[in-house]
Structure 1
Amino acid sequence: MLNKIKGALFGLAIGDALGGTTEFLTKVEISQKYGVVREIIGGGCWRLEKGETTDDTAMTVAVAKGILKNSEDPIEAIGEEFLKWYETRPKDVGMIISTVLGTFNGSWFNSAEKAHYQLLQERSAGNGSLMRCLPVALFYQNLKKVETVTRDQSNMTHFDPMAAEACVIYNRIAFHVLHGKALKKTIQDEIKGTIYESSISGEKPACPPDGFVVNTMKWVLYWLLTSESFSEVVIGATNEGHDTDTVAAIAGGLAGLSCGYEAIPNNFKNKLLLKQELEQLAYELLQGRN
């Protein structure tokens, strides 16, 4: 179990660190500038240090810490971690999340609704709640509790139900893989009857891998269903262009969960600047699981 939980957290962070280099570039621009990015090298638009991660990992850590503080009703504790992180003035904060955190009025759900209607032109179906939701599935042993907390943590910042729906599907997959089911079969089972059912075909999505949660999820499913290794998942997402850090992080989380920490190449694991914190967090999630 620890191997899987560590694999999930490290897989997400590795995808984030890899994709941070190529974020906002097109596939052609990446090829012209880097050839193929196969290693964690830093740089990019955020001028990352080698092994540095972005908001995807930071907010995932925040969700995990909030759950560990108050597992019965973690939303306020998660929110405290969000605000604490936001106060550090991080390099990379998504527009929807920045809008909600910057106008937080004491109620997460009310703040998200107000931002959706008054500040975001009713466009809050971003991938920012999907990128951070994985710790919910790693911690809770009851699937209904996983679904409830997953939906609530999404609704804290993303009022559009499409965001919460993607999070719930993703964490249902994660829950079943954590408990022994095969990743590809689980994906196929969980997306049947949803807007993502067409992904079962394995064809490349006709949409860009951008910040719209539906597009992000389609690309995440594509990489997971068509790749044969962890490296293939995160390298593929990193070199496809657009919102590369988030797509690679979300896909990398499930790929790392499936293969386990020990199977992730050392050249990725050892470069992460947050390596020790992620190891400790994985251990605490395992010890506190309920």
Structure 2
Amino acid sequence: MLDKIKGALFGLAIGDAMGGTTEFLTREEIRRKYGKVTGIIGGGVWNLAKGETTDDTAMTVAVTKGILKNPESPIELIGEEFLKWYATNPKDIGNIIRAVLSTYGEGSWAVAAEKAHNQYLGGKSAGNGTLMRCLPVALAYRDLDKVETVTREQSKMTHYDSLADEACVIYNRVAYQVLHGAGLKEAIQAEIKGTIYEPALNGQIPTPPPDGFVVNTMHWVLYWLLNCESFLDVVIGAANEGYDTDTVAAIAGGLAGLACGYKELPRGYCDVLLVKSDLEELGLKLYELAK
């Protein structure tokens, strides 16, 4: 279990670091500028250092820390971690999350998310910013009902639209199954049947681009996970497809890393991550909580 938990955290961060180089470029622009990104090289729109990660990893770490501080009722502690991170003036932060964090005051996170949805976001809050950070919930709890409850709650903190938390729940149900012994592709097949994501089972390349809309993101994540045979195939594919590459690669990389485990991840990719020591520490603490 420890190997899988560490694999999930490192897999997510590797995908984030690779995709951070190519974020906002099209597939053709990536090809002209880089040929094909196959490693962690930094640069990109955020001028990342080699091994530096973006908001995807930072918010995943924040969720993890909040859960570890108060597993039974983590939402307020997660919120405190979000605000600490926001106060560092991060390079990369999504519009929906920025709208909520910049206006949040004392009170309910859910109310802040609804206010941002209605007053600042034009009724559009179905972004992928909660899907990118929800994985630690599936790693922390042995009870699936608790996983689903906290998964929804952490999503509703910033994203009012139910499409966001629905995607998070499906994703974390898959993660929960894999953590407890199921095969990745079998778990995906079981969890997306009867949902709007069932078409992913046909193996065809998604029609919409892999942008920040959570439904499009989820379709592309499922495409890479169902049609690739190795962890590197998953994150390299996602990082070179264009658009919201850091988030798609992080979300897909998290499940792919969970499935293969930390020991099977390429060492060079793990060792170059600037957050390596934090991920190792948090992975161990999540394991101690989960067991």
- TM-score, structure 2 normalization: 0.99
User: What does residue range 57-76 of structure 1 map to in structure 2 within 5 Å?
Assistant: 57-76=57-76
1:176 aligns with 2:195: no
1:198-219 Cα distance to aligned partner (Å, 9 max, x none): 0011110000000000000000
1:212-245 Cα distance to aligned partner (Å, 9 max, x none): 0000000000000000000000000000000000
User: What does residue range 81-230 of structure 1 map to in structure 2 within 5 Å?
Assistant: 81-106=81-106, 107-230=108-231
Separation in structure 2 between the aligned mates of residue 252 and residue 98 of structure 1, nearest angstrom: 24
Where structure 1 has 5 or more consecutive residues not aligned to the other structure, the ranges are none
Partner of 1:50: 50
User: What SS does structure 2 have at the residue aligned with 1:20?
Assistant: helix
Shift of 1:178: 0.2
Separation in structure 1 between the aligned mates of residue 19 and residue 271 of structure 2, nearest angstrom: 17
Question: Is residue 141–residue 290 contact of structure 2 (8 Å, CA) maintained in 1?
Answer: yes
1:90-142 Cα distance to aligned partner (Å, 9 max, x none): 00000000000000022200000000011100000000000000000000000
Number of aligned residue pairs: 290
1:135-171 Cα distance to aligned partner (Å, 9 max, x none): 0000000000000000000000000000000000000
Shift of 1:267: 1.7
User: What does residue range 239-250 of structure 1 map to in structure 2 within 5 Å?
Assistant: 239-250=240-251
Partner of 2:37: 37
Question: Is residue 15–residue 246 contact of structure 2 (8 Å, CA) maintained in 1?
Answer: yes
Partner of 1:3: 3
The percent identity for this pair of structures is 69
Separation in structure 2 between the aligned mates of residue 224 and residue 88 of structure 1, nearest angstrom: 33
1:227-265 Cα distance to aligned partner (Å, 9 max, x none): 000000000000000000000000000000000000011
1:45-102 Cα distance to aligned partner (Å, 9 max, x none): 0000000000000000000000000000100000000000000000000000000000
Separation in structure 2 between the aligned mates of residue 234 and residue 65 of structure 1, nearest angstrom: 25
User: What SS does structure 1 have at the residue aligned with 2:22?
Assistant: coil
1:16-61 Cα distance to aligned partner (Å, 9 max, x none): 0000000000000000000000010000000000000000000000
| Matching residue's letter, 2:44 | G
Where structure 2 has 5 or more consecutive residues not aligned to the other structure, the ranges are none
Shift of 1:276: 0.7
User: What SS does structure 1 have at the residue aligned with 2:21?
Assistant: coil
Partner of 1:237: 238
Question: Is residue 141–residue 289 contact of structure 2 (8 Å, CA) maintained in 1?
Answer: no
Separation in structure 2 between the aligned mates of residue 288 and residue 169 of structure 1, nearest angstrom: 22
Shift of 1:289: 2.0
User: What SS does structure 2 have at the residue aligned with 1:128?
Assistant: coil
Partner of 1:282: 283
Separation in structure 2 between the aligned mates of residue 226 and residue 270 of structure 1, nearest angstrom: 27
Shift of 1:266: 1.1
